[in-house]
Structure 1
């Protein structure tokens, strides 16, 4: 479980997150939602231990993540940032292999290579393994980056807007895979994902944290947090949560 304990983050002398108190379940898919500038990406980076709190702390299991050594942090949580750099001529297999770096430090062994192959298989990238990353479509490329985070083999995957600029087919493919990976079981990953697509959050999230202006507005099971009234208040526009073919959808009204 991840605990946010009175978490306050400052950047460039400005308060970005203030007094966050919440818990995130160890398994399942957790969505971070809120308007632009709410602090979602900042929170994700704080969960990875990359932003030392001005006050409070983030506990990942029994570890104060900001106080942990970098290598230990990299064994607890894999962070995928927005718009990761594309390196020309780097193959998909090489990119996914970077996820193993915190473990082998430049000396991969058969176990590392097996995990890279498992990640390629998990995200259906076997046939693309030898292709350069800059030759792929946007959806294929994003799938490769998520596979890199998966190959890191951490209990937690922290993903910052991995659906950005993807068409519905690729966005749904990635969400289907992440949802399956997060199901309870011995190999389950805790997935925390920043989402602007409220429809995807309504369909796939088990747990939701909503933020606005650096404050935590609500935290809890998706059905409790993503209501028509609460979403309308959060985004300052009229939204409704309806049902279509057995799935919740969010529509502007």
Structure 2
């Protein structure tokens, strides 16, 4: 970690804090007290960074939520702004706007849904008032999951649109998170999600050029396509794709692994088989 320099370090810190929240026994609790104090001071030192007025509010809020979770003094104003603005930016039907203007990309999966849900969970545990409940935020994410699963084609590909497509399978972080922690929406079975994601992975990573001669990922979507890199991305950014591996935390007996493989929605739709009807969900009201 570079704790001084460009504002991108706030993003790096947020993902470290998120890992501490997701797997404390394997991360935070294994650190000695000196190292813990260093992280705490570094997270607090990032308060001088002014986050962009979009999903970056969640990066700032994530570090503050982590500090709150371990009993440290948190910047409650930064938390309040983030949880309130994200709710105001909810458009409907499982989609948040990334700031005042909507951007059609995968940032609802890369950042917005997962971090918003996890920040709200900390707030609830610490009795910090929020504009929406964790239940409602999870319902919104599950609606998004229904949509994102339908983007997987019958062949096991998905459209490369929007910013940061070099994050590859990170586009399905919300499906992976739900599979691991919350359960899938009732419209989706474990067998179909496992089959769909596995097929996309095989299609993506069997293409020549994804890895260099030392087996590190290279810039690209499916292969080596460095022209797809945004100004804020580097080789470390590529490992956002690993977020799809969260179901690996489940035991082999879990239905995600033990259920029989099944066709996903677009496979059924394009082979003339019955598949669930879809429709608009508002999910604006408190539950």
Shorter-chain TM-score: what band?
A: under 0.3
- Structure with bigger gyration radius: 2
| Structure 1 or 2: more strand by fraction | 1
Larger RCO (CA under 8 A, 6+ residues apart): 1
Normalised by the size of structure 2, how large is the TM-score? 0.24
| Structure 1 or 2: more helix by fraction | 2
